[in-house]
Amino acid sequence: MEIGDRAILACPPTNPNALLEGTGVPQYVPTVEHALATCEQCGTDVWIGPRQRQARVVLGDGAAVLCMVCAIQVQRQRGCVVGHLGGGDGRPRLS
Ligand SMILES: [Zn+2]
């Protein structure tokens, strides 16, 4: 299935703080409910959240797991905004 027809699950890469350094964006900390996944486009390791995993189960091949960087590129090509599934209130995963 073409990526253009699929729901994009945009996941933070496992090194987001390196990418965000100097931008003033707060450090990203995954929760204990996040799991590791792989960006389908570039192969980067990403954190996938519980709601994104649920969406993937429901949508099956209709969903694409992408890192934030690839998700933004696809979003630009489509010219539309990617919705947010909410969440972000889980217990932080301690490193
Ligand atoms: Zn990617």
Q: What is the mean pLDDT of the chain?
A: 85
Which residues are registered as beta bridge partners of 33? none
Please provide residue 64's backbone torsions phi and psi, each rounded to the nearest 5 degrees. -120, 125
pLDDT category of residue 83 using cuts at 50, 70 and 90: low
Please give the distance, rounded to the nearest whole angstrom, from the Cα atom of residue 75 to the centre of ligand 1: 13
Position with higher pLDDT, 2 vs 48: 48
Following DSSP, what letter does each residue of 35-75 receive, concatenated? Answer: EEEE-TTT--EEEE-HHHHHHHHHHGGGEEEEEHHHHHHHH
Reported as a single tens digit per residue, the pLDDT across 29-42 is 889 999 999 999 99
Whether 25 has a pLDDT exceeding 60, the answer reads yes
Please give the distance, rounded to the nearest whole angstrom, from the Cα atom of residue 15 to the centre of ligand 1: 12
**pTM of the predicted structure, to 2 decimals:** 0.78
Q: What percent of the chain has pLDDT over 70?
A: 91
Please give the distance, rounded to the nearest whole angstrom, from the Cα atom of residue 12 to the centre of ligand 1: 9
Mean pLDDT within 46-58 = 94
